[in-house]
Amino acid sequence: MPRKLRWRFFAILTVVVLCVVGIVGLPGSGEALLQNLSDRIRLGLDLRGGMHLILQVNTGDALTIETDQSVERIKRSFREQEISFGEVRRRDATHIEILEVDPDRLADGRAMIDEGYPAWQRSNLAGSSDSFLLSLRPEVEGQIRQSAVQEAIQRIRNRVDELGVTEPVIQNHGPVTEYQILVQLPGVDDSVRVREIIKSTALLELKIVEPQDIYPSRAAALEQYNGVIPAGKELLQGIPQFRDGSQATQSWYVANRSAAITGRDLRMARPQNDQFGRPAVGFSLTNDGARRFERITSENIGKHLAIVLDGRVQSAPVIQDRISDSGEITGSFTSQEANDLALVLRSGALPASMDYLEERTVGASLGVDSIRQGIMASLIGLFGVALFMVTYYRLSGFIAINALLLNLVILLAAMVYISATLTLPGIAGVVLLIGMAVDSNVLIFERIKEEMWAGKTVVSSVGTGFSKAILTIVDANVTTVVAVLFLFLFGTGPVKGFAVVLFWGLLANLFTAIFVSRFIFEFILSRRRRESLSI
């Protein structure tokens, strides 16, 4: 072999070895190789089966929680500074009203708000000189909304991890201001349970209820308050309680709007059995939560403590003594429901409720059919292209086929090395590349034929053909790569899968058409002097 071809041979050999090792791993038994190959190639949701969800985060819930917490902090600050006031209440998700502040302490009240609550913009309430209106600053509102989405992504990821789902996709979806989340869970078979676990807000709140504020119906509660629930209170429905094993009874509670403890104060949650042997969920609190819980329970002995989960009262035991760092959630749970509730509480409450915008479930059998049909389409396309190239270009056609096969090997290895996911559109990209891969060879072969028709020798025709075709090949592939990059940057899911396959396939095509094909031609011509070429 001529010295100038030797380095090309070793370069191609190195690429081939790296590709084979990347695809099948280190040598072993045939069965192990096949298993390793199936493990190393990641399949997308449409091929492996599973769930595809698009969730809408109701970020207004996060704003409401932040506003309610600010209301309680402001009340506490006024009391600590001994500034009397009539009421501090939430007007809506981004506004707080502070009514009837002591006229002699207005300046102190203004200073306390301005210095202690920079997220809120203060102004005088219309028509009143001793009342304030606080408005949440727009930049803070935007931060809270975005933070709610990111926190929801993390909470969902924690829950999915505990379910044991491998290689999930959980990320932002669409424009930033849409507050949407894309969730793809390959291999999920119990879609109903997973959907409930993901969507469950699992917002745990412990709220104080006066003994007389428990009613058998909503109408009875409203009648007691003349149809208007007092400010700072809210009407909550309890879950049905079964008595004597048959009859279900309803309860309604008028509880403090502000929660004494929330799910953010939880340190651990675990399934257990209550004193009657029924499934329940025990929980323990953080140090800060335990201190507040101890203070609140000691101040409200004899009152009911409503354990509220996602707006429904699970139980409302009477506070017999002060409680410090642990408690129990009881209700009409099955063992599975208690396990799931403990799971979502451990992974953290979602910062806001969510709505399903899109849901698709792909069966594993459909994925197997897609793979089988995709492979069949690729083989048919490969056979058709090979037949045409051999019939039309003869020996040169065989060279093009070798370059095409190496192109596919490089593409497959690249996807393994970068941990790319193969999707159904990705298989379509492979079929498309089979046709595109020989396109460069066709350009080169036609250039070589033109040079031979002009009377040049075979060696000169091959060299000139490659030299003249290379600019056209590079230009065509580079412009396509640019388009593919835009598909990857702005596309989602399946579109990205198509773009990844096409991108690496085009780069492999440049290498095989310009480098490998030319090496094979020059190697054949170097073996013996040829006056003709089978093309």
- Kindly write down the DSSP assignment for every residue of 81-111, as one continuous string: TT---SEEEEEETTEEEEE---GGGHHHHHH
**What size, in residues, is the chain?**
535
Spatial distance between the Cα atoms of 434 and 144, rounded to a whole number of angstroms = 49
Spatial distance between the Cα atoms of 179 and 60, rounded to a whole number of angstroms = 11
> Which helix (H) or strand (E) element contains residue 362?
strand 354-362
What DSSP character marks residue 353? -
Tokens of 236: 């909550």
In CATH terms, 59-139 corresponds, of 3.30.70, 3.30.200, 1.10.10, 3.40.50, to: 3.30.70
Q: Starting at the edge strand that comes first in sequence, how are the strands of the sheet with 279-285 ordered? A: 266-273, 279-285, 326-329
Q: Which fold has domain 3-44+364-527?
A: Multidrug efflux transporter AcrB transmembrane fold (1.20.1640)
Spatial distance between the Cα atoms of 295 and 534, rounded to a whole number of angstroms = 93
| Residues whose CB falls within 8 Å of the CB of residue 357, separated by 6 or more in sequence, listed in order | 54, 55, 56, 180
**CA-based torsion, 311, 315, 319, 325: positive or negative:** negative
Spatial distance between the Cα atoms of 176 and 179, rounded to a whole number of angstroms = 6
Question: CA nearest 403: which of 429, 372, 439?
Answer: 439
The CB density around residue 277, as the number of other CB atoms within 10 Å, is 7
Spatial distance between the Cα atoms of 105 and 221, rounded to a whole number of angstroms = 38
Q: Is 258 left (phi over 0), alpha (psi -120 to 50) or beta?
A: beta
Tell me which residue has tokens 């079964």. Answer: 242
DSSP sequence for 382-424 = HHHHHHHHHHHHTHHHHHHHHHHHHHHHHHHHHHHHTT-EE-H
In 240-389 the beta strands, taken as DSSP E runs, fall at 241-243, 247-249, 252-256, 261-262, 266-273, 279-285, 304-309, 312-315, 326-329, 354-362
Indicate the SS3 state at residue 247: strand
Domain residues of the chain, as ranges? 3-44+364-527, 59-139, 200-359
Question: CA nearest 95: which of 59, 128, 130, 119?
Answer: 119
pTM: 0.59
Cα 523 to the center of its chain, rounded Å: 51
pLDDT for 209 equals 92
310-339 pLDDT per residue, tens: 788 888 888 878 877 787 877 667 888 788
| Residues whose CB falls within 8 Å of the CB of residue 407, separated by 6 or more in sequence, listed in order | 433, 437, 505, 508, 509, 512
* CATH 3.30.1360.200 holds for 200-359: yes
347-366 pLDDT per residue, tens: 666 777 788 888 887 766 66
Please list the ranges in the chain whose pLDDT falls under 50: 28-35
pLDDT for 331 equals 67
Tokens of 366: 């459909």
Spatial distance between the Cα atoms of 346 and 327, rounded to a whole number of angstroms = 14
pLDDT for 36 equals 52
pLDDT for 96 equals 94
